[in-house]
A and B are shown apart, each in its own frame.
Chain A
Amino acid sequence: MMLQIGPYQFQSRLLLGTGKYPSFDVQKEAVEVSGAEILTFAVRRMNIFEPNQPNFLEKLEITKYKLLPNTAGAKTAEEAVRIARLAKASGLCDMIKVEVIGCDKTLLPDPVETLKATEMLLEEGFIVLPYTSDDVVLAKRLQQLGCHAIMPGASPIGSGQGIINPLNLSLIIEQATVPVIVDAGIGSPADAALAMELGADGVLLNTAVAGAADPVKMAKAMKLAIEAGRLGYEAGRIPKKRYATASSPMEGMSIV
């Protein structure tokens, strides 16, 4: 089963961020090993006086990937729309991760501005993936607008705290009619596997790989964890019970 976002289909359920890697070479290898088909990045002012400064996009075969620019840096819906339009004008992408931060300390998203930006960008024909808090009702409202995926955070961006509210996340997943991609806060492969076991359609992470002691190895670990978690979800886990149930048969025990 494939991950479908808007008109696009993907084999991989890992969406990888491109920030904070120790080097472009490590990043390139991590991206390849991760199997990710969707890469996120940001839009920023260019240093016009250093035209030969290397850019990560030049290191990658970008035609192999779907590019998912974010609107990071935006604090209002209008700023997010401006960044999204700039990204689209590159002619390289039509998907946008709406990211409107409402608090500098926690980097938690501003729900009102996120909702507004999502609506405006959908009207302009973007494939819109809003990064949102794990609010169940907000997720529903974003879905009603017609966004192409919902991306609730597991915990604050870059915190590595993992899924701090699995109940909300599972309620968002339960009611979802579009893919749910757990975005932000993933720290370890166990976190990513849990997100998938809860029924998420994908996981977006960056720091957990880029900041690991060995980013390439962690990229592989995340790929496997997401695959394992998804398989486990599809297989259907056993219910938790208070007491033991023997695995070996009870018959024929008279010999012992």
Chain B
Amino acid sequence: MELIINGESIQLPDSVKTVSDLLSHFRLNHKIAIVEVNLNIIQKQEYETTTLCNGDKVEIVHFVGGG
């Protein structure tokens, strides 16, 4: 499956089916990260049940230093 993650086209193995799988794939599951799929924010409790489809636009954001 191909997803657009943070603006980049990225090819993912078939084992990645949900948001939870995606975070595990990139070893981000223990990070403070917020996920948006096609402009919808995915709450943490929905990570395992939210399935991803080819071409989905995913944003993975976090907190950085700022004023």
Contacts and interface: CB of A to CB of B under 8 A. Distances in A.
A89 B65 contact: no
Interface in B28-56: 28, 31-34, 36, 39, 41-44
Contacts of B28: 46, 48, 51
A42 B6 contact: no
Given A86-B34, A89-B41, A56 B65 contact: yes
Contacts of B27: 51
Nearest to B33: A46
A51 B36 contact: no
Nearest to B10: A48
Nearest to A70: B66
B60 A46 contact: yes
A157 interface: yes
Contacts of B61: 43-46, 86
Contacts of A205: 67
A226 to B, nearest CB: 16
Given A85-B41, A86-B36, A51 B31 contact: yes
B5 interface: yes
Using C-beta atoms within 8 Å of the partner chain, give the interface range for chain B.
20 to 34
B59 to A, nearest CB: 7
B41 A55 contact: no
Contacts, number: 97
A133 interface: no
A203 interface: no
A134 B56 CA distance: 42
Interface stretch (A18-26, A119-127, A188-196, A245-253): A18-26
Contacts of A70: 66-67
Nearest to B60: A46
Contacts of B63: 41-44, 55-57, 67, 69, 87, 90
A133 B39 CA distance: 30
A44 B42 CA distance: 16
Given A49-B26, A51-B26, A86-B41, A42 B65 contact: yes
A91 interface: yes
Contacts of A58: 32
7 contacts: A43-B64, A56-B63, A70-B66, A86-B41, A89-B34, A89-B41, A158-B67
Interface of A: 17-21, 27, 40-46, 48-49, 51, 55-58, 67, 69-70, 72, 82, 85-87, 89-92, 157-158, 184, 204-207
Given A42-B63, A206-B66, A206-B67, 9 more contacts: A19-B66, A48-B5, A51-B26, A51-B27, A70-B66, A85-B41, A89-B34, A89-B42, A91-B44
